[in-house]
Amino acid sequence: MPPKKGSRPGPADPESEKRGQGQFPSEKRGQGQFLPEKRGQGQFPSKKRGQGQFPSEKRGQGQFLPEKRGQGQFPSEEPGQGEFSASEETIEVSQEATGARLDRFLAERYPARSRSALQKMIRKGLVRLDGQTVKPGEPLRAGERIDLSFPPAPPSVLVPEPIPLTILHEDEDILVLDKPAGLVVHPGAGAETGTLVHALVARVGGLSGIGGPRRPGIVHRLDRGTSGLMVVARTDRAHLSLTAQFREREVSKVYLALVWGRMRESEGVVDTAIGRDPVHRRKMSVRAPRGRAAISRYRVVEELPGFSFLEVRPETGRTHQIRVHLQSLGHAVVGDARYGGAAWRGVQDPLKRNALKSFDRLALHAWKLSFRHPASEERVAFKSPLPAEIRALMETLRG
């Protein structure tokens, strides 16, 4: 019998351009570039409103550059090197986490794993608190040590599907890809086949199993209607490193968004908690009674008649965060029927109305992604150009 919990110790003490220009140079879909980025970057550069050029680049190039001049490529590894023989991690409970349930605390730290899966790990003794087996609802105290032993991934039950993928970079630990709009990331309600995970299983094969058998390699997600950059973990080492970086807000993410209306300010910050909508349970809301902290920074890149084109940097990663934050300002993302409704019905110009009506995706694109490589610890960065369908819609709306 394990010792009783009562014996635990107590808490320990772009080139400048005028506003309204901002037109993208000609570029073909499928283009992309991988550029170095210095640690600590990620704030908006000081620019006048309306500045910000997006360089022409070829998607799929995926060039890999070291952060500093003279540094080399990622160290070459033979297949199998760099793998975790056992996926284990130790966490020290912070003062801020005091009183939180163990299962909820872990669910927030490991978003790729479901809370029920983590509860099973706790009940099986794969999670110990100060060396003791406990229940999922055990409240935490500052200074306690949580030891986790992630079980080996069970054989995948996913059927590989030969869905085309645009891979920008691939090595022993990670894979960076450009997800198209319309592709669901992993199996779930209403999408049991035809997902990004099915394509990855067919394309790559071996992926980290920490996320579970239905989410191999997945450390973050993009909504179905959102396009752009994603990083996938091929090893458990990479999965744990990337998950920690997302949790500690070390990953830099920059999105491009076309929204309804003209913004009052050229740039700003939305610092409003997000949670499940109390009435419409499939939606998220800033009015949720138990929302989680969420921060999004935005900057106006271009103003179009009746619309704004923005650069958005989410500092947190809540579900639908950018969409909900922009809608809360009264500027829903174009194409977002869930949070913006059929706003196109109010457009008088028939050419613009038809273009908006037929636009069948979110005008939201994950443009830049930067993080520390799990193996080399070197800061790396990727870029993906704005998709052709968004550029075509913007050209129509400028007219």
Q: Between the CA atoms of 208, 212, 218 and 222, what dihedral angle is there, to the nearest 10 degrees? A: 170
pLDDT greater than 90 at residue 243: yes
The verdict on 197 and 279 lying in the same domain is: no
Please state, in angstroms and rounded to a whole number, the distance separating the CA atoms of residues 33 and 60: 7
Same domain, residue pair 358 and 282? yes
The pLDDT of residue 189:
66
Same domain, 213 and 259: no
158 and 102 in one domain?
Answer: no
Q: How do residues 170-179 score in pLDDT, each as one tens digit?
A: 999 999 999 9
Same domain? For 132 and 191 the reply is no
Q: Mark whether 278 and 377 lie in a shared domain.
A: yes
Please tell me whether residues 257 and 375 are part of one structural domain.
Answer: yes
Domain boundary pick from 223, 247, 271: 247
Phi-psi region of 38 (alpha: psi -120 to 50; beta: other; left: phi over 0): beta
The CATH number covering residue 119 comes to 3.10.290.10
- Mean pLDDT in residue range 241-245: 95
Where does a domain end: 213, 231, 247?
Answer: 247
Whether 17 is covered by a domain: the verdict is no
Q: Is residue 133 part of a domain?
A: yes
Query: Do 398 and 288 fall into the same domain?
Result: yes
Q: Is residue 290 part of a domain?
A: yes
Residue 80 belongs to a domain: no
**pTM of the predicted protein model:** 0.68
- Average of per-residue pLDDT values in the chain: 81
Q: Is the pLDDT of residue 101 over 60?
A: yes
358 occurs within a structural domain: yes
Query: What digits encode the pLDDT tens for the residues 366-392?
Result: 999 999 999 999 999 999 999 999 999
Please check the confidence at residue 120 and state whether its pLDDT lies above 50: yes
Listed residue (214, 124, 204, 205) closest to 167, CA to CA: 204
* Shared-domain flag, residues 262 and 192: no
Of 103, 178, 223, 236, which is the active-site residue?
223
Residues 167 and 207 in one domain: yes
Highest mean pLDDT among 3-7, 26-30, 375-379: 375-379
Residues 6+ apart with CB under 8 A from 248: none
Write the pLDDT tens digit of every residue in 197-235: 999 989 887 888 887 777 889 999 999 999 999 999 999
* Domain final residue, candidates 100, 134, 151: 151
Domains identified in the chain, total number: 3
What does the alpha-carbon distance between residue 162 and residue 170 come to, in Å, rounded to a whole number? 18
**What residues make up the domain containing 198?**
153-247
Q: Is residue 77 part of a domain?
A: no
Q: Give domain status of residue 90, yes or no.
A: yes
Q: Which two tokens stand for residue 377?
A: 């610890």
> Distances from the Cα of 92 to the Cαs of 16, 142, 146, 243, 314, in angstroms?
47, 8, 6, 16, 27
Residue 361, pLDDT score: 97
CATH of the domain at 273: 3.30.2350.10
Judgement on whether residues 393 and 293 belong to the same structural domain of the protein:
yes
171 is catalytic: no
